C-alpha cells in the first residue's frame, strides 16, 4: 500500500517545476566544487530551506488520496470483525444443537421407535434399511476380522434409529479407512419430515446411503485377508490389490490340481563300453553313425500342495527317444559269428562306417511313473517362477532300432523288447525350471525347460555297447486346481 501511494505522488508531481528563492543562488555559486563533491555540498546548503509557493492544487490532490486510503482500510476492518462475530455465533449454535441431538438419540426407547415407524409412508426406505441390516449382518460374520465392517454396522444402525426418532440427520456421506462416517448438516423432526413436501427427499437421501452400504459390502473380500484399505478421490473405500483379489478369489480352491503337459525334446543315447572293453570297435562306429533327434513327450499328473511353496505330483509320462542313423557299407574282411539267425540282421555280411548313402531311425518309447517335487521360487498375482525335480521309473514298452553287432559286421533288427541283447527299465532323474501364468485361481498355464537323463543303461547284455537315454527340451503345461 505504501509503495502504491508513493508512486501515485510521483505521478502527480511529474512535470512540476518551481523557482527557488533569490537567496539560494548566491549560496550555490559560493560552494561550487570541482572535485566531485558539488552535489553533497548543495544538499548541505539547501538543508532547512523550503519552497513557500507550492501549487495549492497539488496538496489538495494529496489530501484526497489519503482520505480514500483511510476509507478502504476502515471497510476491511469492519468486514473482518463482522465475519468473526457471525462465525462465533454459528459455531455456538452448532455445538448446542449437536449436544441436544445426541441426548435425544440416546434416550429413544424401542417402543417409540416402533410407533414412529408406523407413521412413515411405505416408500420411506425403512424396509430397505431392515433388509440391508440383515444382509450386512451376514457380511459382518464372514469378515469379522475387518474393522471397517464393524464401524459400518454401528453407523447405519444409528442412522436407522435417528430417522425413526424425533430427529432425522441428513448430510453427505464420506468413507475413510476406518469405515463410514456421516456428518450432520441439518436436523429435522420425523413428524415434520413426514408431513412436509420435502420429506421424500430426506427419505431418498437415506435410501441412497443404504445403497452405498450395499456397494461397499460387495467390495469387501470375504475369503482372503485385506492387506490395506485406502480412500480414493471420490471418498470410497479402495482395497489394496482389489483387482487381484477379485480375480484370484472368485472360487475357493483346495490343495489338489490336475496337470497336463506336452513338449518336444532333443533326444539321444549316451554310449559307453562295459568293463571288459571287448566292443571298442562297435562303440567307435556307433558314435560316428548315430546322431540325436527331435522327439516328443506328454504327461498327465495329479498334484498336491504339501506346504506353502512345495507341491508333490505323480502320474504317467510318455517319452520317445529317437536317433538318426547315417552310414555307408562295404563287404566285411572276415566272417562274423552272430548270436542271432542271419534273418535278424540287416547287411549281415557288411562292415558299416560313417557316410550318407544309407539312413534309418532308432525309436524307444518309455512309460514313466514319476514322483516330482515342485518348489515356487517367486510368486505374485499372475506369475510364478518355480523349479521341478525328482525321479521317474521308465518302462520300455516299444522299440524299433538297428544295433551294430559287437563284431562290427551287420545291423541287428531290434523290433521288440525281448529281442537279444534284451532291454531293461531306465531310472530317470529330472530338473526343470519353469514359469507359470495364473489366469485365475483355478486355471494356470506355463512352460518349463526339461533336463532329463537315465542313471543306468537299458541294454542287459554286457558284451554289447551300453546306452543311457537323455533329453533336453521345452514342455508346455496346463494346471487346473480344484
**Confidence check: pLDDT of 134 > 80:** no
| Beta strand segments in 120-255, E | 167-170, 173-176, 179-182, 186-189, 229-231, 237-239
Range with the largest mean pLDDT of 11-25, 140-154, 459-473: 459-473
User: What is the distance between the alpha carbons of residues 477 and 448, in angstroms, rounded to a whole number?
Assistant: 8
How far is the C-alpha of 284 from the C-alpha of 218, rounded, in Å?
Answer: 73
Decide if pLDDT at 479 tops 50.
yes
Which residue, among 87, 92, 99, 83, has the nearest Cα to 184 in the 3D structure? 99
Instruction: With a cut of 60, say whether residue 420 has pLDDT above it.
Output: yes
Rounded to a whole number of angstroms, the CA Rg of the chain reads 49
Q: What is the pLDDT of residue 219?
A: 52
Q: Residue range 186-212: average pLDDT?
A: 50
pLDDT at 36 (0 to 100): 55
Q: What does the pLDDT read at residue 181?
A: 43
Does residue 174 carry a pLDDT above 60? Answer: no
The highest-confidence range among 181-195, 251-265, 318-332, 405-419, by mean pLDDT, is 318-332
Which range among 77-86, 202-211, 450-459 shows the weakest confidence by mean pLDDT?
Answer: 202-211
Q: Could you read off the pLDDT of 142-160 as tens digits, one per residue?
A: 554 455 555 555 555 665 5
Dist. CA 382–CA 375, nearest whole Å = 17
* Cα–Cα distance, 197 to 467 (Å, whole number): 96
When pLDDT is averaged across residues 86-111 and rounded to a whole number, the result is 59
- The pLDDT of residue 334 is 82
| More confidently predicted of 428 and 55 | 428
Is residue 478 scored above 70 in pLDDT? yes
**Residue 186: which pLDDT band, with cuts at 50, 70 and 90?**
very low
Phi, psi of 448 (to 5 degrees): -145, 155
How many residues does this entry show for the chain?
482
In this predicted structure, the answer to whether residue 232 has a pLDDT above a threshold of 90 is no
Mean pLDDT of 411-440: 93
Side-chain-facing half-sphere of 37: CA atoms under 13 Å: 6
Q: What is the pLDDT of residue 129?
A: 58
pLDDT of residue 101: 54
Closest to 321 in 3D by CA, of 287, 361, 283: 361
Tens of pLDDT, residue by residue over 362-398, are 999 999 999 999 999 988 878 999 999 999 999 999 9
Residue-averaged pLDDT of the chain: 74
With 70 as the cut, is the pLDDT of residue 243 above it?
no
- With residues binned 3-state (H G I as helix, E B as strand, rest as coil), the percentages for the chain, rounded to 5, are 35, 35, 25
Q: At CA 347, angle to CA 344 and CA 350, rounded to 5?
A: 130
Asked whether the beta carbons of 318 and 365 are under 8 A apart, the reply is: yes
Span 11-39, average pLDDT: 67
Dist. CA 157–CA 162, nearest whole Å: 9
The string of DSSP letters for 109-146 reads: -HHHHHHHHHHS-GGGSHHHHHHHHHHHHHHHHHTTT-
pLDDT tens per residue, range 5-18: 777 777 777 766 66
246-271: per-residue pLDDT in tens?
444 445 678 999 999 999 999 999 99
Average pLDDT score over residue span 224-239 = 48
Amino acid at each position: 500500500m505504501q509503495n502504491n501511494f508513493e508512486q501515485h505522488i510521483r505521478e502527480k508531481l511529474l512535470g512540476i517545476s518551481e523557482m527557488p528563492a533569490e537567496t539560494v543562488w548566491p549560496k550555490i555559486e559560493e560552494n561550487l566544487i570541482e572535485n566531485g563533491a558539488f552535489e553533497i555540498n548543495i544538499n548541505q546548503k539547501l538543508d532547512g530551506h523550503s519552497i513557500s509557493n507550492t501549487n495549492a492544487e497539488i496538496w489538495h490532490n494529496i489530501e484526497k488520496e489519503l482520505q480514500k486510503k483511510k476509507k478502504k482500510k476502515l471497510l476491511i476492518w469492519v468486514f473482518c470483525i463482522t465475519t468473526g462475530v457471525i462465525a462465533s455465533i454459528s459455531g455456538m449454535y452448532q455445538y448446542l444443537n449437536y449436544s441436544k441431538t445426541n441426548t435425544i438419540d440416546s434416550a429413544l426407547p424401542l417402543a417409540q421407535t416402533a410407533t414412529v415407524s408406523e407413521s412413515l409412508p411405505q416408500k420411506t426406505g425403512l424396509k430397505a434399511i431392515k433388509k440391508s441390516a440383515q444382509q450386512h449382518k451376514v457380511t459382518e460374520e464372514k469378515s469379522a476380522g475387518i474393522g471397517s465392517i464393524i464401524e459400518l454396522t454401528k453407523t447405519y444402525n444409528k442412522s436407522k434409529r435417528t430417522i425413526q426418532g424425533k430427529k432425522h440427520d441428513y448430510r453427505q456421506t464420506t468413507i475413510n479407512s476406518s469405515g463410514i462416517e456421516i456428518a450432520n448438516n441439518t436436523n429435522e423432526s420425523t413428524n415434520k419430515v413426514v408431513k412436509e413436501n420435502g420429506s421424500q427427499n430426506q427419505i431418498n437421501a437415506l435410501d441412497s446411503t443404504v445403497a452405498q452400504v450395499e456397494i461397499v459390502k460387495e467390495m469387501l473380500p470375504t475369503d482372503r485377508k485385506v492387506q490395506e484399505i485406502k480412500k480414493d478421490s471420490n471418498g470410497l473405500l479402495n482395497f489394496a490389490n482389489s483387482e487381484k483379489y477379485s480375480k484370484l478369489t472368485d472360487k475357493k480352491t483346495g490343495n489338489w490340481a490336475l496337470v497336463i503337459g506336452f513338449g518336444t525334446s532333443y533326444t539321444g543315447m549316451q554310449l559307453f563300453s562295459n568293463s571288459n572293453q571287448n566292443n571298442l570297435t562297435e562303440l567307435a562306429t556307433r558314435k560316428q553313425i548315430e546322431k540325436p533327434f527331435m522327439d516328443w513327450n506328454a504327461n498327465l499328473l495329479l498334484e498336491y500342495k504339501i506346504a506353502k511353496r512345495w507341491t508333490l505330483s505323480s502320474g504317467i509320462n510318455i517319452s520317445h527317444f529317437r536317433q538318426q542313423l547315417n552310414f555307408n557299407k562295404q563287404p566285411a574282411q572276415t566272417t562274423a559269428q552272430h548270436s542271432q539267425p542271419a534273418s535278424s540282421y540287416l547287411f549281415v555280411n557288411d562292415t558299416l562306417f560313417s557316410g550318407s548313402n544309407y539312413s534309418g531311425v532308432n525309436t524307444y518309447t518309455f512309460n514313466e511313473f514319476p514322483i516330482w517335487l515342485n518348489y515356487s521360487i517367486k510368486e505374485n498375482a499372475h506369475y510364478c517362477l518355480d523349479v521341478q525335480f525328482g525321479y521317474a521309473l521308465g518302462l520300455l514298452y516299444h522299440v524299433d532300432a538297428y544295433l551294430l553287432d559287437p563284431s562290427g559286421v551287420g545291423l541287428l533288427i531290434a523290433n521288440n523288447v525281448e529281442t537279444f541283447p534284451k532291454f531293461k527299465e531306465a531310472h530317470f532323474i529330472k530338473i526343470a525350471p519353469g514359469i507359470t501364468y495364473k489366469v485365475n485361481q483355478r486355471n494356470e498355464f506355463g512352460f518349463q525347460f526339461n533336463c532329463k537323463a537315465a542313471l543306468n543303461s537299458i541294454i542287459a547284455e554286457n558284451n554289447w555297447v551300453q546306452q543311457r537315454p537323455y533329453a533336453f527340451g521345452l514342455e508346455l503345461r496346463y494346471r487346473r486346481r480344484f
